[in-house]
Structure 1
Amino acid sequence: MVTAFAMRNFLKAAVGCLGMIAGCFSTGEAQDFGGMSFGEAGNFGPPQTSGSSKATVTSYGEASFVIVTELALPDHWHVYYKNPGTVGLPMEAALQPVPGFRVEGPFWQIPELEKGLVDFYGYSGKAKMAFRVTPEKDAPPEATFITTMTWQMCAEQCAAPETKNFSVTLKRGDGQTAPDAAELTGNMAGLAAPDWAEGLKARISQEGKTVTLHLRTNGRPVPQDSVYFFCNQGEINPTTPQIFKKLDDSNYELSMQFNDTTDGLYPNNLPDADRGKPLTSLSGILRAGREGIIITADDRPFSGESQSTAAGTESAPEPSASIPAPPLMGLGEIMFFMFIGGIILNVMPCVFPVIGLKIMGFVQLGGGERKKVLAHSLTFVLGILISFWLITAILIALKANMFDWSAPAGPGVFSGDFWLGRGAEGVVNWAFWFENPWVNFCLLGLMLAMGLSMFGVFEIGVKATTMGNDLQHRKGYAGSFWSGALATVISTPCSAPFLGQAIGAAMLQPPLGIVLCLTMMGLGMSLPYIILGAFPVLTRYLPKPGAWMESFKQSMSFLMFGTAAYFLWIYMAFFDAENHPQDILFLFFGLVLFSMAFWVYGRWCPMYRSRKSRITGGIFSVIFLLAGLYYMLPPEGAAWFGRGSAPGAAESAAAAPSLQEEGNIWIPWSPEAMQAALDGGKPVYVDFTARWCSTCQVNKASYTDEVLAAFKKYGIVMMKADKTRTNPAIDQELKNLGRTAVPVNALYLPGRKPAVTRELLSPAYLLEFLEKEMER
């Protein structure tokens, strides 16, 4: 889930990471990120929230009374209403059942529209909610009422979501009213109706994007100051003003803009079947003056009103002017953070193996003329941008369900509606292609082949021992282009915890917004090379070409081999090593044959060899290459040739988690296994992870003996949800948590909302997190 605080703090965290990138990926104790400690919440967390629960009576009789729970918030901090208006975490409340009492509610304090980086509905200072309780004949002589509340407190940053119980104990008596009863129920909607709301009727109509709430009273005037409607499901856009108009002494109209989710920061919770259709009902809190009421309205006409009048034809009162659609809010800021994130990608560990290729390009540029410097720089930039555009095209296609031929046809790809996001409602995970075994198969072969080439096993494009300048230039430009493309592809699985939130925000944008955001990310990654091309004088400070370059190139090949080993480790997760161990042996044997093919090609196929030698070497190279690829195929591909069998859907979902188990500490996650543990009263901690996620691997070092002992102390069941390969159940659970990509770590407690950790873990943070959540 992307919130305003995440966007603001992204830059702070990113700048801190640039200064000490090694610390960002330390596997030891928590590091200091640019002055912010991620190890101790006391240095990073917000002030504490206090709260209490009271009743409007000191003793109860036969009449109804109200239980009010109030949160006292620190200065400059806020919490969200049950409809946050944005993608913020809504406040929730429940009163535990008490035998002998009937409960109604919850009833909410009238929220405020808070304007800022994003507009949201929430509370500052104090936040109240209430339940109306009615004693029944068999009510006990004494009862304790426990209210469970969940909220998230935010300012320039957000605290972890909190869930707490508040209780009040009452005894049977004469039903005496508490001295502060009126104060407790003040500013609460639904507990008591104001005078102007007596006999109030409401209905809605919609024309285009304008939703009109029609109000009819019994002649009592409605206060015309501070009129605002807070909807329950996000149907109304909070970024546009609401226009209140008095038609006569009994009729009023409030015009609002329908929220069609064009701006991804302002979602609605309408059922999928109702999306894109005119509203037929609307519910929420209507505030007028200092009071508010709960309203539920539909599109049926008032008594005595014709259907045509209710629909807004010429016989109806003159409607208010349509509210213009707002621009894409927040897009410029997201683009800025994506640009900064692109710069950071140059020093991320996943891009580091390509640094050898970049350095070699710089060395070559250092000895060239200005035009060559500029040409190589722009060619490298072109490789990055084209790769980002290809990734963007795939994301947009999948988000719009363009590959789901059974789905109804949406707007055409060349239509304005498509690029503005109408009809594109899917959610796509960043780096989702690494869940495909064929992607890892190709990257593994590419990394190994590039490493062998850099080591000198073979050369590509060599016509003779002495190459012409034209060929060398063509090869250099191609190298610059493919270096940029490769850096882009390799960077996607480890976009770092700081970039993940900005990418999530970009994925919520309509297609045009995604294009702009990822283009800015590509430009950020290209910035060093753009600067070098614009100011080639900087190349003077680079080392000059010389004999040392060959040794340096060979040393850089080991980074390629290391990257190949990393992708091999990811790729092995797609094999069922437990039931088919021979497939792993075939994979290793295939890598040997694959490497041998390039060795034969480099040894017997250079242009200075005889024609017979080149033909013979070429034949054997192809034989070894095809044999190597055959044995390297993923199980699905091997099944095509009758070797092994492709795993079924159930096997595919279960195979990867089994490879992630560490002894008998972690058990594979499934919705059924987690629910069974929760039903048994056991808390469950789930690590949503993937082999291709480098931050996930860094987090594993945080599970020290002390941390594992804490899990055991609290009786927590530890589960591993492995997303190395596609798993729809994991995707759905991540969606339930408001996330789209790993790493995600969540603690589930019976009867409570899951508590999600931050993305980058440390032992100290986990110990504090467990203590805080388990001892509430």
Structure 2
Amino acid sequence: MRAFWLAFLIALACFVPSTLSAREARFGGGNIAVELRADGEPVAGETWMLALHFTPSSAEWHGYWSNPGDAGQGMSLELDLPQGWQAGEPLYPVPQVLTISGLMNHIYEGDYAVLVPVEVPQGADVAAAPPVTGFVSYLACTDRICVPQDAVLRARTGGDFRQWQAAVAPLLDRDAVYEVSGDRLRVGVPLPAELDVGDLHLFMKTADFGSGLAPDYAAVQTFIREGDLLVVELPLKRRPGFDAAPLPERIEGILSFGKGQGLRFGAVQGDVPLEGVKPISGGGAQVPALWVLLLAALGGGLLLNIMPCVFPILSLKALALAKAGGDEMSARRDALAYTAGVVLACAGLGAAILALRSAGEQVGWAFQLQEPRVVGALFLLAVAITANFLGLFQVPGMAIAGGRASMRGSFGTGLLAAFVATPCTGPFMALALGAALVLRPVEGFAIFTALGAGLALPFLLLGFIPAWRRKLPRPGPWMERFRRWMALPMGLTVLALAWLLWRIADDLWLILLAVLTVILLALLALLGQRQGRGLGGGKIFFACIVGLAIFAISLFPQPQPRASTEDSLLAPRPFSETALAEARTSGKPVFVWFTADWCVTCKVNESVAIEREQTRRAFEEAGVITLRGDWTRRDEEIASFLAQQGAAGVPLYLWYSPGAEAEQLPQVLTPDLLADRAREETDSPLSAR
């Protein structure tokens, strides 16, 4: 028996090296080198991103997309992962086309990276996990020759993951539709009509449509556009010798807009309309120009100054106006500082939204107010400002009543004004921000910046137009009394934020925040006493208080959300796309509204137009079905649906007449608007009773 096991172990020892040798690199990567990079260390329960970074030895060599086209070879990858770890589908940048002798290839020129998401299971012992290794084979080609390449991989941390993730084509947030008619493939891709799509090309990842049908990659592609639908027509070629087979249930591809920009999409079988519609060249003829979107963003930001959600910080704006009554140079400096704060905040929020969406997150305007820690920080800030207005302490470097103007204070006022204004979306903003979320990142960033410029414009003009400033009251002792009165609206802001925290946080979280608030007020009172005695070091002391508050709130545990118990006169059902589809098949009118507890405009509209007995009676007579989408906390389905409607945030109000598509109602509702709309349905012969 012992001899048997000895012979078995010898045979196994001989077998193992032969198995490993099959994973040895036979060709190497002399023409296009590859290395496996990791975005930091893996974390249990999270997605760990790996990247295969390809680097050609010279400009003549190129690699291939997963579907190489008429010729070439895609990458073949094997990863050795710990048990239970799952590698996702590789994510590619938008490819390029190379046509030689009538054959089209889908290639990459220069450096490029293919990302591989790895799901690390909950409870995984990542510290004890072995290094991730693997094996990859691929093809390196020039215009004349092709050489097989391969490499044994070992993951190392590092690399420009931010740039690599930005290059990956983001996934469209809803399915496209495709149909095959004869020898032509037609794909209907839902895209906002405002999107400037540039130089279009469809890269089909799916290479087999059954029955020998395959895309004719080098054929001319036709693009048709009508409203929010872009249709691509691509000829198919039939290869002989294949048996009849059904079409695939789902196809995938990348719609390129040129210059490395595009969208990944999945498409299911269905009817694609637009027969007889005149084709367009490049797809951008009917799209508003970027300057139109920039003007819309500028106008939307300007109107934010009078939107209800900006009311809580009107006290700060009023003080900024009063301070502008000083000398001309000080007024201009303050105006520029305030503008810089507003624009920086809007641009920063816009950049964060675009970065998160490019990483696959479904976020929109004011997404940060869905995070309890952010709302908690705003609450502490509002408490501190209220205490400042009541004279408990002075913010170092900010002159409130008379005296020398403070650029730092005006800059901080601008930051706060923009941050607190984010729960609102007003007229013109839906067009601009909806397009910004799907445009190229540079254009989207420009739109968010224009929004900030519009919000700051009145105060910028005030600083540079002396005639306007002369109409303001002169600085004097009244400003100190005015500042104390302004503690009232800021105190109301504290209460509003406390109510919001009660809605999105649990009891333990609120207790911890209350303790932190008491400590904060005690430290600010101590700072005020030091200032009253003329002691120095006020800026350092104040900075320490701010740092302590931020550090403490960052340590708070993630709260458990409360169940929504808010009642409504209209008795709405919770929104879901399934519930909406069922409601629309009833033959009755459907009203859908999207709201959030942090959206002041939403709450004003609800009190003015929605939660009214008159509206309830009109809806009851017309048989209107109501659905409500609560976006107070993050909800992927609501975020995706808002994006489909071209909306960057809430409020959003949709009306569906029987058999009709959605009609977007104004974002600011008048008292009788909904009741009148319901009466129109009652009088319509198409309305189901």
Give TM class, smaller chain: 0.5 to 0.7
Residue 478 (structure 1) shift = 0.5
Residues matched between the structures, number: 449
For the Cα contact (< 8 Å) 2:363–2:639, is it kept in 1?
no
For the Cα contact (< 8 Å) 2:424–2:599, is it kept in 1?
yes
Residue 743 (structure 1) shift = 1.7
Task: Name the residue aligned to 2:672.
Answer: 764
Within a 5 Å distance, the mapping from 1:53-72 to structure 2 comes to none
- Distance of 1:762 and 1:735 partners within structure 2: 25
In structure 2, the residue corresponding to 1:441 is in which secondary structure?
helix
Residue 342 (structure 2) pairs with residue 342 (structure 1): no
In structure 1, the residue corresponding to 2:653 is in which secondary structure?
strand
Residue 680 (structure 2) pairs with residue 687 (structure 1): no
Residue 760 (structure 1) shift = 2.9
- Alpha-carbon deviations, 1:136-191, whole Å to 9, x = none? xxxxxxxxxxxxxxxxxxxxxxxxxxxxxxxxxxxxxxxxxxxxxxxxxxxxxxxx
Residue 730 (structure 1) shift = 1.9
C-alpha distance 513-558 of structure 1, shift in aligned 2 (>3 A): same
Residue 726 (structure 1) shift = 0.4
Task: Name the residue aligned to 1:599.
Answer: 525
C-alpha distance 744-338 of structure 1, shift in aligned 2 (>3 A): closer
Name which of 492, 497, 504 aligns with 1:567. 497
Residue 661 (structure 2) pairs with residue 727 (structure 1): no
In structure 2, the residue corresponding to 1:452 is in which secondary structure?
helix
Name which of 439, 449, 457 aligns with 1:519. 449
- Distance of 1:204 and 1:534 partners within structure 2: 61
- Alpha-carbon deviations, 1:588-646, whole Å to 9, x = none? 5654454344234323x3262689xx99xx89x97x9979996xx69xx643xxxxx74
Within a 5 Å distance, the mapping from 1:8-47 to structure 2 comes to none
C-alpha distance 757-480 of structure 1, shift in aligned 2 (>3 A): closer
- Distance of 2:584 and 2:295 partners within structure 1: 43
In structure 2, the residue corresponding to 1:688 is in which secondary structure?
strand
Within a 5 Å distance, the mapping from 1:76-87 to structure 2 comes to none
Task: Name the residue aligned to 1:699.
Answer: 605
Supply the AA of the counterpart residue of 1:333: V
Residue 736 (structure 1) shift = 5.0
Residue 440 (structure 2) pairs with residue 510 (structure 1): yes
Residue 375 (structure 1) shift = 1.9
- Distance of 2:527 and 2:597 partners within structure 1: 33
Within a 5 Å distance, the mapping from 1:145-160 to structure 2 comes to none
For the Cα contact (< 8 Å) 1:575–1:583, is it kept in 2?
yes
- Superposed CA RMSD: 5.1
Structure 2 residue ranges without an equivalent (≥5) = 1-176, 182-192, 198-212, 234-253
Residue 698 (structure 1) shift = 1.8
Task: Name the residue aligned to 1:173.
Answer: none
Residue 328 (structure 1) shift = 8.0
- Alpha-carbon deviations, 1:661-687, whole Å to 9, x = none? 348934544556667777899876443
Name which of 537, 554, 557 aligns with 2:487. 557
Residue 533 (structure 1) shift = 3.8
- Distance of 2:439 and 2:387 partners within structure 1: 41
For the Cα contact (< 8 Å) 1:691–1:724, is it kept in 2?
yes
Supply the AA of the counterpart residue of 1:272: F
- Distance of 2:275 and 2:581 partners within structure 1: 35
- Distance of 1:673 and 1:284 partners within structure 2: 28
For the Cα contact (< 8 Å) 2:300–2:454, is it kept in 1?
yes
C-alpha distance 482-326 of structure 1, shift in aligned 2 (>3 A): same
Within a 5 Å distance, the mapping from 1:222-371 to structure 2 comes to 234-235=230-231, 260-261=256-257, 272-273=265-266, 285=275, 329-368=288-327, 370-371=328-329
Residue 553 (structure 1) shift = 1.4
Residue 357 (structure 2) pairs with residue 399 (structure 1): yes
- Distance of 1:495 and 1:287 partners within structure 2: 34
Task: Name the residue aligned to 2:347.
Answer: 389
Residue 392 (structure 1) shift = 2.5
C-alpha distance 583-360 of structure 1, shift in aligned 2 (>3 A): closer
Name which of 423, 429, 450 aligns with 2:364. 429
Residue 453 (structure 1) shift = 0.8
In structure 1, the residue corresponding to 2:308 is in which secondary structure?
coil
- Distance of 1:427 and 1:261 partners within structure 2: 22
Residue 690 (structure 1) shift = 0.5
Asked which structure has the greater RCO (Cα within 8 Å, sep 6+), the reply is: 1
- Distance of 2:550 and 2:194 partners within structure 1: 55
- Distance of 2:630 and 2:372 partners within structure 1: 15
Task: Name the residue aligned to 1:528.
Answer: 458
In structure 2, the residue corresponding to 1:606 is in which secondary structure?
helix
In structure 1, the residue corresponding to 2:597 is in which secondary structure?
coil
Residue 512 (structure 1) shift = 1.5
Residue 483 (structure 1) shift = 1.1
For the Cα contact (< 8 Å) 1:427–1:507, is it kept in 2?
no
In structure 1, the residue corresponding to 2:474 is in which secondary structure?
coil
Residue 476 (structure 1) shift = 0.8
- The percentage of counterpart residues that share the same residue type is 26
For the Cα contact (< 8 Å) 1:447–1:563, is it kept in 2?
yes
Residue 476 (structure 2) pairs with residue 546 (structure 1): yes
Supply the AA of the counterpart residue of 1:337: A
- Distance of 2:547 and 2:356 partners within structure 1: 33
For the Cα contact (< 8 Å) 2:302–2:457, is it kept in 1?
yes
For the Cα contact (< 8 Å) 2:431–2:646, is it kept in 1?
no
C-alpha distance 538-686 of structure 1, shift in aligned 2 (>3 A): closer
- Alpha-carbon deviations, 1:183-215, whole Å to 9, x = none? xxxxxxxxxxxxxxxxxxx998556xx9357xx
Name which of 403, 406, 414 aligns with 1:476. 406
For the Cα contact (< 8 Å) 2:392–2:524, is it kept in 1?
yes
In structure 2, the residue corresponding to 1:504 is in which secondary structure?
helix
For the Cα contact (< 8 Å) 1:746–1:754, is it kept in 2?
yes
- Distance of 2:570 and 2:321 partners within structure 1: 50
- Distance of 1:271 and 1:747 partners within structure 2: 30
In structure 2, the residue corresponding to 1:721 is in which secondary structure?
strand
For the Cα contact (< 8 Å) 1:386–1:485, is it kept in 2?
yes
Residue 487 (structure 1) shift = 1.2
Q: TM-score, length-normalised on structure 2?
A: 0.54
- Distance of 2:320 and 2:292 partners within structure 1: 33
Task: Name the residue aligned to 1:373.
Answer: 331
- Distance of 1:748 and 1:283 partners within structure 2: 21
C-alpha distance 773-271 of structure 1, shift in aligned 2 (>3 A): farther
C-alpha distance 628-119 of structure 1, shift in aligned 2 (>3 A): closer
